[in-house]
Chains A and B, each alone.
Chain A
Amino acid sequence: MLKIENLTKMFGGLAAVNDVSVEFEANRINAIIGPNGAGKSTFFNLVAGTHKPTSGRIILDGEDITPLRCDYIAQRGVGRTFQTTNLFEQASVLDNLIVGHRLRTKSGLWDVLINSKRLQWEEKACRDKAREVLDFVGLNHVENRLIADITQEERKRVAFALALATDPKIVLLDEPAAGVNPEETEGLADLMRKMVDHGLTVCLIEHKMDMIMGLADKIMVLDHGEKIAEGTPTEIRENPVVIEAYLGSDEDAAA
């Protein structure tokens, strides 16, 4: 469903992502791994449209989305989370999520002024959506808590929920399990499986190898901006180039 063709991004004279081609199939969990500075986050930023590639194409369901601005790409169905999601600390969880569905609505200033039917209807739709995704990530019990008062793991789930509220076809998750303990990591992995069961395509960057190996259908390995391998977890585990890259760098192999 997401097809990347010869994607390259130069910063100054350096290639952060270099001639990467890959195809992610629908309804699968795809992982991107690689040592620090391998260009994983840049790759996400290119797909989501935050950065424009120097060359190459990004094709979503047959449509070339390369030239689009990131809000349009989000509307085409690419949702994402960040390593740290800046939520509004002093508002409730539900309040933070309502805006997630905003891109599917049309009300403007005039609707606010006359309190139009459309606005009322759309606000209800957004609220329902927020409840729905909150339920999906298993957090309806904290609906009214302030963001400032919930745990790190709950924050991760809220970030998922926010991305899901945009009605995406594919979600890009940037280190979704960073900073949470092993049991919670397993819970988040289950959540990703649940997303796929509900027809979504998941694409994640992760350092936690145990989690990736048990979770991903397909793995792409980046090193110094280049794709050095792709395949199933078993293939990747046995790939000598990957082992080389990981032993060559340091702490990531241990992580």
Chain B
Amino acid sequence: MLKLASFMTRPAAKYLLIVLALVFPLIAKNEYQVYVMASAFIWAIAVYGLNIITGYCGQLNLAHGGFFALGAYTLGLLTADYGWSFWPAFVGALLMTAFIGFLVGVVSLRLKEHYFAIFTLCVGFIMYMLTDKWEELTHGPIGVRDIAAPHGFGIVDFTETTPFYYLVLAFLIFAIWFMGKLSRSLLGRTFMAIRNGDDLAQSLGINLMRNKTLAFVLSTTYAGMAGALYAGMVRFIGPEDGNILHTFDMITYLLVGGIGTLSGPLVGTVGIVWLTQSLQFLEEYRMILFGPLLVVLVIFFPRGIVGSFLGWLHRKTLDAGLPAAKKKESRIATGKEVENNA
């Protein structure tokens, strides 16, 4: 049992997962399943972004769905209305979400806890309202059609589901790879120190505003990346893509998987997206389940699946005290694989 468990923290498990993801389109029953997996991956990228600011840095950002929509709209409008091709527009979407994220961050991150959450809730709502009302720019409720997909090459055509799936997978792997590096770097540790408390972090000589702003901009850029990919995949977006409910969905994914952990966002997002898919009737009423689930999680399992698992494993390996386990334990201690939840 312990052996199996500790295997899951080894690099081999990572490669196994990548292989599984690579062959998934071959073993999937139909194209629709590939499509669902691709959209789960896209949401996972966004949830990784949320994890930076909310999981590692401890600031509940309720505008995350708004930044997702901002990325989607930037890509959508640049390609559909201004004739840009996908990749320049994609870069444009990243820059746009980073820039707006910076502006919002500079103002909002001076606010503490509740104020920050409420402020970002309002920012998210303003973004939603603008996509709905600013018709000259966003087409209002009609939404944006004819969004460009990336140019293909050879037989690869990104308007088809499977090639796009691989494209998304590549971005997801990049997103997780970078998050892994970040979370065990000094920078990631700095973010986590801020989560432990502003006063303590400052007494350690940490510049609060600079680090919080950096975390926030990173998180909005992740959201923008996910939004742009989403727009490229579905190629039709509307104001509802920026609905606050998407932010709440993402918080649920994050919490179920394990807030502040490296693999939590992936586990939570893919798990719940498939769960809701397999319980089709749940689609509309999923919140009847998600709502109480959120409550139960924060009361009884605030660390989510991955966080609880790692805590259990850490104690087990310490108790076992075996030389082999010793090595692993120091690896966890150095934060090599995973760690750190709220």
Spell out A's residues near B (CB within 8 Å): 48-50, 69-72, 74-75, 79-80, 82, 85-88, 90-92, 94-95, 98-100, 102-103, 105, 107-109, 111-113, 115, 119, 122-123, 126-127, 143-146, 149, 162-163, 165-166
Contact = CB atoms under 8 A, between A and B. Distances in A.
Which of A74, A102, A122, A163 is most buried by chain B, counting CB atoms within 10 A of its CB? A102
B187 interface: yes
B204 A74 contact: yes
A239 B27 CA distance: 86
B193 A102 contact: yes
A95 B315 CA distance: 15
Contacts of B307: 90
Contacts of B203: 48, 50, 70, 74, 79-80, 82, 163, 166
B303 A99 contact: no
Contacts of B333: 92, 94-95, 143-144
A41 to B, nearest CB: 12
Given A90-B341, A144-B329, A102 B202 contact: no
A122 B56 CA distance: 21
Interface of B: 178, 181-182, 185-190, 192-193, 195-197, 199-200, 202-208, 214, 218, 303, 307, 311, 314-315, 318, 329-330, 332-335, 339-341
Given A99-B189, A112-B187, A163-B203, 15 more contacts: A71-B202, A74-B202, A88-B340, A90-B341, A91-B339, A95-B333, A95-B335, A99-B186, A112-B178, A112-B188, A119-B185, A123-B186, A144-B329, A146-B315, A166-B203
Nearest to A100: B204
Contacts, number: 115
Contacts of A82: 199-200, 203
A218 B339 CA distance: 44
Which of A70, A86, A98, A113 is most buried by chain B, counting CB atoms within 10 A of its CB? A70
A229 B132 CA distance: 68
A98 B189 contact: yes
Contacts of A144: 318, 329-330, 333
Contacts of B339: 91, 95
A87 B196 contact: yes
A19 B186 CA distance: 41
A102 B186 contact: yes
Nearest to B192: A88
B340 A102 contact: no
A109 B307 CA distance: 26
Contacts of B202: 49-50, 69-71, 74
B186 A122 contact: yes
A90 B261 CA distance: 11
Nearest to A103: B205
Contacts of B190: 99, 102
A107 B205 contact: no
A91 B311 CA distance: 9
14 contacts: A50-B203, A69-B202, A80-B203, A82-B203, A88-B195, A90-B340, A91-B340, A92-B333, A95-B335, A99-B204, A102-B190, A144-B318, A162-B204, A166-B205
B329 A71 contact: no
A1 B174 CA distance: 51
A111 B186 CA distance: 10
A112 B182 contact: yes
Given A70-B202, A102-B189, A166-B204, A90 B196 contact: no
Contacts of B208: 71
Contacts of A119: 185-186
B209 to A, nearest CB: 10
A143 B318 CA distance: 11
A88 B194 CA distance: 10
B205 A112 contact: no
A102 B318 CA distance: 28
B119 to A, nearest CB: 22
A107 B341 contact: no
Contacts of A109: 187, 214, 218
A94 B330 CA distance: 10
Contacts of B329: 144
Q: Which 10 A-B pairs have the closest CB atoms?
A: A103-B205, A74-B205, A99-B189, A70-B202, A86-B197, A99-B193, A92-B333, A112-B185, A75-B205, A86-B196
Nearest to B184: A123
B232 to A, nearest CB: 24
A94 B335 CA distance: 10
Contacts of A87: 196
A156 to B, nearest CB: 14
A135 B255 CA distance: 36
A71 to B, nearest CB: 5
Contacts of B187: 107-109, 111-112
A71 B205 contact: yes
A33 B210 CA distance: 36
A103 B185 contact: no
